[in-house]
Amino acid sequence: MAKLYFYYAAMNAGKSTTLLQADFNYRERGMETMLWTAAHDDRGGTGTISSRIALSAPAHTYDEGVDLFASIGEELKKRSLDCILVDEAQFLTQVHVLQLCEVADSLSIPVLCYGLRTDFQGKLFPGSAALLALADNLVELKAVCECGRKATMNLRVDSEGHAVAAGAQTEIGGNDRYIALCRKHFFQRLREGEERQLSLGLPRA
């Protein structure tokens, strides 16, 4: 029976690298894959999954208006599919996740999703919440905090490296905008950010 997998981690844990390696492993064995990524994530170019170690691959893109089950069904009319791989899975909607459940359950194609668990305020992304609730297998990928402990949180920083404590949940960025930290140091830096924003007369989260 095909399963829905959620591989989650903080920033810089190698999620995209792991996805691209899984894709390579399937294709090396003569199997067919279909890759997906969020339409608004254009750091490596729209419709491209790219990693920090310079690996990349073209991918289909999804936004709120895309029906993943229908799109994958259309692709099946052209070729066989052995695995679906989804990058930036935190940006999936709950409807998307239900569609991916249907891909695994009705089409018998394994679905591997890779993404963040929480945002820069320590809150679950909607897509991640749905995957944590519905995925058959949950796999945590490891990142390392500056103190050497396991990093589980994502701190957003400004251009000067100060913690950002308020703002939109989604803001695309890499090492210039986010730092992976353990819970202790995440909350320590977040409190510092809140105090700084108050001192500058900026609203709190």
Decide: helix, strand or coil at residue 195. Answer: helix
Instruction: Look at residue 157 and tell me whether its pLDDT is greater than 60.
Output: yes
88 is catalytic: yes
Contacts of 200 (CB under 8 A, 6+ apart): none
| Segments making up each domain of the chain, as ranges | 4-199
Query: What is the pLDDT at residue 192?
Result: 84
Q: Round to the nearest angstrom and report the end-to-end CA distance of the chain.
A: 43
* 48-62 tens-digit pLDDT: 898 877 788 999 999
> Which CATH homologous superfamily contains domain 4-199?
P-loop containing nucleotide triphosphate hydrolases (3.40.50.300)
pLDDT bucket at 150, cuts 50 / 70 / 90? very high
Instruction: Look at residue 94 and tell me whether its pLDDT is greater than 70.
Output: yes
* 2-48 tens-digit pLDDT: 999 999 999 888 899 999 999 999 999 999 999 999 997 666 567 88
pLDDT bucket at 165, cuts 50 / 70 / 90? confident
Which residues, listed in sequence order, are joined to residue 8 by a DSSP beta bridge? 115, 140
Percent of the chain predicted with pLDDT > 90:
68
Rounded to whole angstroms, the maximal C-alpha distance in the chain is: 59
Instruction: Look at residue 158 and tell me whether its pLDDT is greater than 90.
Output: no
* 169-184 tens-digit pLDDT: 767 655 568 899 999 9
The answer for 151, left when phi > 0, alpha when psi is -120 to 50, beta otherwise, is beta
Residue type present at position 122: G
pTM above 0.75, yes or no: yes
Q: Which residue in the list 88, 102, 140, 192 is annotated as catalytic?
A: 88
Percent of the chain predicted with pLDDT > 70:
90
pLDDT bucket at 72, cuts 50 / 70 / 90? very high
Greater confidence (8 vs 191) lies with 8
Query: What is the pLDDT at residue 197?
Result: 64
Mean pLDDT, the chain, as a whole number?
90
* Signed CA dihedral, 173, 178, 182, 188: sign only: negative
How far from 57 is each of 50, 54, 95, 145, CA to CA, in Å?
7, 10, 26, 28
| Contact indicator for 147, 126 with CB cutoff of 8 Å | no
Phi (first) and psi of residue 129, to 5 degrees: -60, -45
